[in-house]
Amino acid sequence: MLQSVLHAAINVSNLAAAEHFYGTILGLDKVERTLKFAGTWYQLGSFQIHLIVAERNYSKPASEEKWGRQAHLAFAIADLEAAKQRLMAANVPMQASSSGRAAVFIQDPDGYVIELSQL
């Protein structure tokens, strides 16, 4: 039945701030989109992230205690320490994984949780 993952859509309140975070800080490549509503698409391998401007944001974590237990996207990274330095320099909110593994959880400008895990 299912063949592959195509994309994840994320509601954002400020497109410019979201584009800076996903495009500049995380380094994702922007791709063309022909749709008329406000948003930006990014490509990572065969997967896309769709930022969609929305008046109401459903992505705020319910709990500040453990971000990893919230709905989130997870990405593999090669160098966790280098990523942490880059994120700290950009003042991105960050929380270490409570499991002790080489992973951190960060939040985009709207509070959506993203996991960065060194494999």
10's enclosing H/E stretch is: strand 7-12
Mean pLDDT for the chain?
Answer: 88
Residue 11 to residue 50: CA distance in whole angstroms: 8
Q: Which domain holds residue 17?
A: 7-53
Q: Judge whether 61 lies within some domain.
A: no
Q: Judge whether 62 lies within some domain.
A: no
Over residues 29-80, the pLDDT tens digits come to: 999 998 888 999 999 999 999 999 987 655 565 556 788 878 789 999 999 9
Q: Judge whether 60 lies within some domain.
A: no
Are both 75 and 112 inside the same structural domain?
yes
Which CATH number goes with the domain that contains 42? 3.10.180.10
Are both 77 and 110 inside the same structural domain?
yes
End-to-end CA distance of the chain: 29
Over residues 93-110, the pLDDT tens digits come to: 999 998 888 999 999 998
pLDDT at 92: 95
pTM over 0.95: no
Looking at the structure of the chain, the number of domains it has is: 2
Q: Judge whether 59 lies within some domain.
A: no
